[in-house]
Amino acid sequence: MRAIAISDFGADPELIDTPEPEPRPDELLVRLRAAGYNPVDTKIAAGAMRDRMSPRFPMIMGQDGAGVVADVGSEVTGFKAGDEVYGRFSDPSRGLGSFAEYGVVAQDGPVALMPKGTLPEQAAAVPTATVTARDMVEAARLDEGQTVLIVGATGGVGQSATQFAALRGAHVIATAAPDAVDLMRHLGATEIIDHTKGSMPGRVLAAHPEGIDAVIDLVTPPAAIEAVAGLLRPGGVICSAIHALDPETLAAREIRGVNVVNQVTGPVLAELADVIDSGELRVRVESLVPLELATVKLRELPGRGARGKTVFTM
């Protein structure tokens, strides 16, 4: 099978030919049709998590994917060949990832039936980004009528977080460049702050001098997070997707700080499939890239502002 892999941490991704993985007794073998890119894929390949991994090289990149079950292990009972599924197909210890024509996943792992009527290219964009967005909004405990600022709103996580917050009846302030204003309003944002002009926290504070209730921050590093946390009124909450917060320091100011770690599980993916089926959640794919061109795209993606998800097709 074809796959995008690295020969070591920090090496350039390459298109390789490698044997199809063999499913274990409790695993599904899935013919992947699409794989969603997440910024963490590049960080993993660069070695940012080497202390927590024992990979086998060459290591296939990627986590998220969608496709059709090609075979099942002898102990699998919940899925069958021909099922359309989506989830995470990553096992670094075996050198396996989702940027490949085949992937494996345990039947009780992060996998579920695809949303009905959804193409694999759309479903592959969901797992990491949309679960992260869901978990961020859940951690913020948003109530109807509360005001929430979403920092980094135009990316894959931010677009889903905007929709989840709006579904809860929150007043959503989204940071976005002028060319993304219509998109963010369509997704449920009621107020847009142009983060390309001047101080974003200063502009939010000018519009809301009394403070706001919550912040969902997807991009601000630790060195700059204080200015964002300063927008909250006492009793407010700030959630970070990149572990930028010191919860103890914030608690002394009556602010709840949460560094969110996403929990991608089969039941959560099944729940999201229902939400997508209902039409309440839309996942925007910005670009579809054939697997054979993925190495070029992977060089372009880091540091680039996104307006949706990048998906590789097989």
What is the CATH number for 294?
Answer: 3.90.180.10
Place of tokens 């919860």: 247
Q: Inform me whether the pLDDT recorded for 303 exceeds 70.
A: no
**pLDDT, the chain, mean:** 97
The model's pTM = 0.95
Q: What would the DSSP string read from start to end of 199-250?
A: -HHHHHHHH-TT-EEEEEESS--GGGHHHHHTTEEEEEEEEESS----HHHH
Is residue 17 domain-shared with residue 121, that is, in the same domain? yes
Q: Inform me whether the pLDDT recorded for 15 exceeds 90.
A: yes
Q: Which domain holds residue 106?
A: 2-126+283-313
Helices (H), the chain: 39-46, 120-123, 127-140, 156-167, 181-187, 200-207, 225-229, 247-251, 266-277, 294-300
- Flag whether 266 is in a domain: no
> Are the beta carbons of 222 and 228 closer than 8 angstroms?
no
Residue 304 has a pLDDT of 63
Count Cβ atoms within 10 A of the Cβ of residue 177 and give its class: 0-12 exposed, 13-18 middle, 19 or more buried: middle
> 179 CB contacts (<8 Å, ≥6 apart)?
none
Tokens of 51: 């202390």
Is residue 254 domain-shared with residue 139, that is, in the same domain? yes
pLDDT tens for 120-151 read 999 999 999 999 999 999 999 999 999 999 99
Is residue 146 domain-shared with residue 243, that is, in the same domain? yes
Is residue 170 domain-shared with residue 185, that is, in the same domain? yes
> Are the beta carbons of 106 and 25 closer than 8 angstroms?
no
pLDDT band at 198 (very low <50, low <70, confident <90, very high): confident
pLDDT band at 302 (very low <50, low <70, confident <90, very high): confident
Question: 286 φ, ψ to 5°?
Answer: -80, -40
pLDDT band at 314 (very low <50, low <70, confident <90, very high): very high
pLDDT tens for 206-241 read 999 999 999 999 999 999 999 999 999 999 999 999
CATH of the domain at 166: 3.40.50.720
pLDDT tens for 27-53 read 999 999 999 999 999 999 999 999 999
Least confident of 140-149, 187-196, 299-308: 299-308
pLDDT tens for 270-298 read 999 999 999 999 999 999 999 999 999 99
Is residue 153 domain-shared with residue 108, that is, in the same domain? no
Q: How many domains does the chain have?
A: 2
Is residue 240 domain-shared with residue 120, that is, in the same domain? no
Is residue 133 domain-shared with residue 232, that is, in the same domain? yes
Is residue 187 domain-shared with residue 120, that is, in the same domain? no
Is residue 133 domain-shared with residue 203, that is, in the same domain? yes
Is residue 140 domain-shared with residue 228, that is, in the same domain? yes
- Flag whether 268 is in a domain: no
